[in-house]
Structure 1
Amino acid sequence: MTRSKEPVAPALAALAGLLADETRAAFALALLDGRAWTAGELARWAGVAPSTASEHLGKLVAGGLLTEERQGRHRYVRLADARTAQLIEDLAAHAGPRAAEPPRTLRESSAGSAMARGRTCYDHLAGRLGIALTDALTGRGLLRQDTGFALTDAGLRWFGDTGIALARTGRRPLARACLDWTERRPHLAGTAGAALCRHALDAGWCVRVGSRRAVKVTPAGERAFEELLGIEATALR
């Protein structure tokens, strides 16, 4: 058997193998909601036996894509970090939805529509909602996209004036582009994207809907986004 001359090749192959199974890929996508799930919740969501879920989760934890903690009888897992979430979202955007496989039920169609309208991508907002916010920030000179994503001085003031605290510590970039897998355009991620998402949920501008990552803008959110960023309510529905 020949060995690769690239020292990273074995690790890359092992990483790809972790997501080569559809159940493990489904688990990774579900965990993009940024929350911790129990093994049982993931098993029911993916429609697999608890023993099967446990086996797959063990591989994902051993491979470094997930972290786990135990509380009493329950085993909770979540994505390892923001870099892992970025990897999953980027791969999902590259793969894209399969147009040849339309929704099988009305419920599945409704869930897909809700996810496309607005969702969380780990800890920031995505879908049409995320794109609308990104476009509005850019159009008002608060965010630059010409040389990569970066908040302008006016953008930093806007976050402060809006009461959205930006943690300026750690190695995470303040603003980062994340390719949206439904819109095929970049939305705002990084520290600023996470802070905006957290504020929107805490302030009641957005609420989670269903059991997945979908979110919707509330009437209070429509008013806030129009007042603060000039986004028309129709663009958020």
Structure 2
Amino acid sequence: MTPASNLASLAALLADTTRATMCLALLDGRAWTAGELATHARVAPSTATAHLHRLIDGGLLVERRQGRHRYVQLADSSVADLIETLAGRVEDRAAPPVGLRAATVDAALRRGRTCYDHLAGRLGVGVTDAMTRAGLLDQSGGFALTPAGLAWLTDTLGVRAEELRSGRRPLARGCLDWTERRQHLAGSAGAGLCARFFEQGWVTRIGSGRAVRLTPPGAAALRDLLGLSGLD
């Protein structure tokens, strides 16, 4: 197959509302069952299974087995980056949410959410900006964690150094936030920071989706650590 045909095949995988809905849901970084995704996308289980097979065969999702249960999740962080970037391209043309429930969900996602394994929304951008002001991140020539930032992550937050060096991911990378239109911290540093926020109880999920809420202890920690307030 030519590069053009490969690109067309990839685009075709997401050119379906049900498959796009599933991929957006999986941006929360967790593994879902086919039944959970069927309920979320409001389709029959058999329909969900057919769509999931296409996404797995196309390399966007992977399947994992645990006992009698089968779970699917995004193949890796590069797939999450692709979907988040595409979502950002169409957000300006999206119709405003209709109804109280849709508007509530939309507002929660804009306040704070997970983008695969790092924080996004106003929360993610706010933390990124505060780290930059504190000299922990350098955005002047790209997106880089400073020596002080590395020490802050490992010594202050307790992120393990081996987590930051795992795999082929960059240590720090900017990810364009599709609601804020600005960069938030991704890469292994963003993943480690997000994991610590959950472990410490500083953020908690809202329902079963991607939206997260900053807890009172989290708000206090951000004030103490980064001088950041107004996100709770």
Once the two structures are overlaid, the 10-residue window that deviates more, 70-79 or 17-26, is 70-79
Per the TM alignment, residue 164 of structure 1 is displaced from its structure 2 partner at its CA by: 2.1
Answer yes or no: is 1:216 the counterpart of 2:213: yes
Per the TM alignment, residue 97 of structure 1 is displaced from its structure 2 partner at its CA by: 4.9
- Give 1:79's aligned amino acid: L
User: CA–CA distance in 2 between the matches of 1:46 and 1:193?
Assistant: 29
Counterpart of 2:147 in structure 1 is 153
User: CA–CA distance in 1 between the matches of 2:151 and 2:69?
Assistant: 43
Counterpart of 2:77 in structure 1 is 82
Cα deviation per residue 1:69-95 (whole Å; 9 max; x = unaligned)? 234553310000111111111111111
Counterpart of 1:119 in structure 2 is 113
Superposition misfits of 4+ residues, deviation over 6 angstroms: none
Answer yes or no: is 1:135 the counterpart of 2:129: yes
- Give 2:73's aligned amino acid: R
Counterpart of 1:228 in structure 2 is 225
Distance 1:15 1:165, change over 3 A: same
Counterpart of 2:8 in structure 1 is 13
Per the TM alignment, residue 8 of structure 1 is displaced from its structure 2 partner at its CA by: 1.0
Counterpart of 2:167 in structure 1 is 170
Answer yes or no: is 1:63 the counterpart of 2:61: no
Instruction: Give the SS at the match of 1:16.
Output: helix
Answer yes or no: is 1:29 the counterpart of 2:48: no
User: CA–CA distance in 2 between the matches of 1:97 and 1:23?
Assistant: 21
Instruction: Give the SS at the match of 1:96.
Output: helix
Cα deviation per residue 1:42-95 (whole Å; 9 max; x = unaligned)? 011111111111111010000000001234553310000111111111111111
TM-score normalised by L of structure 2: 0.95
CA contact (8 A) 2:177 2:184 kept: yes
User: CA–CA distance in 2 between the matches of 1:195 and 1:71?
Assistant: 25
User: CA–CA distance in 2 between the matches of 1:165 and 1:115?
Assistant: 28
Instruction: Give the SS at the match of 1:52.
Output: helix
Q: What number of residue pairs does the alignment pair up?
A: 229
Backbone CA RMSD of aligned residues: 1.4
CA contact (8 A) 2:203 2:213 kept: yes
- Give 2:31's aligned amino acid: A
